[in-house]
A and B are shown apart, each in its own frame.
Chain A
Amino acid sequence: MNSATTVGTTARPSIDSRWLQLIVIWAVLLTVPLWLPFVGGYTALAGRVLVLGLAAMSFNILLGFTGVMSFGHAAYFGLGAYGAGLALKYLAASTPLAIVMGTLLGGVLGALFGLLIVRRRGVYFAMVTVAFGQVAFYVAYSWNDLTGGYDGLRGFTREPLHLGFTDIDITNNGNLFYYFLLFVFAIAVALQGLLLASPLGRTWLAIRENERRARFLGIPIERHIWLAFTISCFFTALAGSLYALLNNFADPMALHYSLSGEIVIMTVMGGMRAFWGPLLGAAVFVVLQDYISSMTVNWMSFIGLIFVLVVLFFPRGLLGMLRRRDAA
């Protein structure tokens, strides 16, 4: 945490290797439907990776790039899912509207909760975020008439996209829906990249590296942390709304703090100091989870073991380890 001396020098990859990285990542993501069946995967799994990867990358704006530890991001993810589901069920049969409503619901509530949360630091920040996160869980859990309570929100499906000149049927065609997810993912991630490279994003980095020094420079710390929290919540809620479309179902467990923990472990496992780390972590975690839960009923022990092993032996994450090798 207090590594003020390593600002910007943590083996930043050169321009060339960053382009290479981008090309590899997008080549892999774009060709998923071609090779996935041969390695025993299915497209819905790839969709899960994209959605949870987006959630983890959005969360990492806060953890990796502002240095603030939220442990309640499942709430905004789940609110996005419920917002999208409710919009499809009660407002209008439109996929874009569902995404907008989900993102707004999660993001706006995140902005409000953020006002109460931002003054805390360290573990206390985490504790307050986790407690606020559970508010959404209990509301969804107890408001049976609206949300379906324990059983989750059912009775909605994603709708074909009407573009004016043509319709795209993402309801049944799994591959087409994957590319739709990838399209939204690409826009969101591009925005995140631009944001983090902007003066605003650099200010967040300054806060992460040395909050006191940033304060002395006249940076309004609380306002910046609130902004990072809010923006992170909007992106997480976007991921959540995609999750509802993916499953045609919104589940109270998508709001539960155990999902918050999973988002954090994906981020740390992939490498929280790397822009693409959380996506890699999400891919590894989702695939492992899928595999383990199909193999044994005691999957919880194995998932728990992953947490423990990552913390004790791979705290820098996969990309973090690669980078250190580069630097050495």
Chain B
Amino acid sequence: MLQVILYNVTNGLIIGAFYVLMALGLSLILNLSNVINFAHGNFLALGGYMAFVLTPAIGFWGALLVAPVATAVLGFVVERLMIRRVYNRDPVYSLLLTFGLAFILQDVCRYVWGPNGLPLGVPDAMSAPISDTLFFITWYRIFNVTVVIIGVAALFAFLRFTRVGVRIRAGTLDLETVAALGVNVSMLRSFNFAVGCLLAGLAGVLAAGQIGLNPNMGDDLLMPSFIAIIVGGVGSLTGTLVGGLLIGVAAALTTIVWPAASEAVIYVIMAVVLVLRPRGLMGEEGMLT
């Protein structure tokens, strides 16, 4: 029994880690630009596919570094070309735009790499389990969680200690004032969008090594990421972090007692949070309304 619980908790933490990477990227974009990026799961898939293309040339480690950056560059271009144009319009337009982009990107992945799943080769040493009793925990899973921890720490350090990071945080609170102080807000938003896509790309590479690649691999992560943001509280990145881990572990623990409800439980958590604490666990007062 202990093993079963341990197995599901580690599973939950790993899935939660993916939720966190996705949701942090979404949250960054949502907070600064007021755009829900429906295509975020497709940027994740593109990150994975780019790693798939790059691995034969530069190996897994090279791909792990390059693919997320390439995803970020792509995100930057998409933002400059399209998303930037709808910032000052009714929110319905940004939703529809990213929604359409999601369709296109998914279809492009399917067209280029085929509809069937593809494996991403990870170094052999990492597919080995860490011990005989804990046979279900491979080194790759440990590695996944480590990378996510480093990535999240780097993101928070970036937002806290760099000039651009501070501007992004200031912009979430009051974009007009930031613009009045002479910051190029348009560029700031594009860069911020790219950072969000970087996180998605990183999640894509890690997820590809774990579950393989398919054109809609990001779709299953999109909705839980929304819920992570709602549960954690809109406007708070720490909240998103907590929310992602919480729903990941909750879903995994539910699997032990009632597998069919594992997906449903995250919606129940969302409903409970919205009833008891409408602004989310760590949301700022007034951000949601």
Seen from chain A, the residues whose Cβ lies within 8 Å of a Cβ on chain B are 1, 63, 69, 71, 116, 119-124, 126-128, 130-132, 134-135, 138-139, 142-143, 257, 261, 264-265, 268, 272, 298, 300-301, 303-308, 310-312, 315
Q: How far is the CA of A121 from the CA of B287 in the complex (A)?
A: 10
Q: Is the CB of B104 within 8 A of A315?
A: no
B99 interface neighbour in A119, A124, A261, A305, Cβ under 8 Å? A261
* B96, A131: Cβ atoms closer than 8 Å: no
Residues of A close to B105: CB separation below 8 A = 304
Among B120-128, B150-158, B163-171, B222-230, which stretch is in contact with chain A?
B222-230
* B residues with CB within 8 A of A: 30, 34-36, 38, 82, 85-86, 89-97, 99-108, 110-111, 223, 226-227, 229-230, 234, 260-261, 263-264, 267, 270-271, 274-275, 278, 288-289
B267 touches A138 (CB 8 A): yes
Query: B92, A264: Cβ atoms under 8 Å?
Result: yes
Contacting residues, chain B, for A119 (C-beta < 8 A): 278, 288-289
CB-contact partner of B85 in A63, A122, A312, under 8 A: A312
CB distance from B185 to the nearest CB of A (A): 18
Decide if B34 touches A127 in the complex (CB within 8 Å). Answer: no
Given contacts A127-B229, A134-B223, contact A304 B93 (CB under 8 A): no
List chain A residues, Cβ under 8 A from B104. Answer: 300-301, 304-305, 308
Instruction: Please report the C-alpha to C-alpha distance between residue A304 and residue B109 in the assembled complex, in whole angstroms.
Output: 14
Complex contacts, B38 vs chain A, CB 8 Å: 261
The secondary structure that dominates the B interface is helix
A-B contact count (CB 8 A): 127
Contact across chains for A307 and B82 when beta carbons are under 8 A apart: no
The answer to whether B97 touches A308, judged by C-beta atoms less than 8 angstroms apart, is yes
Q: Which residues of chain A are near B261, meaning CB under 8 Å?
A: 142
Q: Is the CB–CB distance between B263 and A300 below 8 Å?
A: no
CB–CB B95/A126 < 8 A: yes
Given contacts A122-B34, A304-B100, A308-B100, is CB(A131)–CB(B234) below 8 Å?
Answer: no
A-B contact pairs, 20 of them (CB 8 A): A1-B90, A63-B92, A69-B92, A120-B288, A122-B91, A123-B95, A126-B36, A127-B30, A127-B229, A127-B230, A127-B234, A135-B267, A138-B267, A257-B223, A265-B100, A268-B92, A272-B92, A298-B111, A300-B110, A308-B100
Q: Name the residue in B34, B36, B261, B275 with the highest tally of chain A Cβ atoms < 10 Å from its Cβ.
A: B36
The answer to whether B100 and A311 touch across the interface, beta carbons within 8 angstroms, is yes
How many whole Å from B289's CB to the nearest CB in chain A?
6
B36 touches A123 (CB 8 A): yes
- Decide yes or no: A300 and B85 within 8 Å by CB, A124-B234, A310-B96 being known contacts: no
Contact partner of B91 (CB less than 8 A), chosen from A126, A265, A312, is A126
Contacts of A304 in B (CB 8 A): 100-105, 107
Whether B263 lies near A142 (C-beta < 8 A) is yes
Residue contact A134 to B93, C-beta cutoff 8 Å: no
Q: Contacts A139-B264, A306-B100, A308-B101; is A131 near B95 (CB within 8 Å)?
A: no
A304 and B100 CA atoms in complex are apart in Å by 4
Q: Please tell me if the beta carbons of B103 and A307 are within 8 angstroms of each other in the complex.
A: yes
**In whole Å, how far is A220's beta carbon from the nearest beta carbon of chain B?**
15
Nearest CB of chain B from residue A299's CB, rounded to whole Å: 8
Apart from A116-B271, A138-B267, 20 more pairs, CB < 8 Å:
A69-B90, A120-B289, A122-B91, A123-B30, A123-B34, A131-B270, A138-B263, A261-B95, A261-B99, A298-B110, A301-B103, A301-B108, A303-B103, A304-B107, A307-B101, A308-B101, A310-B96, A311-B96, A311-B97, A312-B86
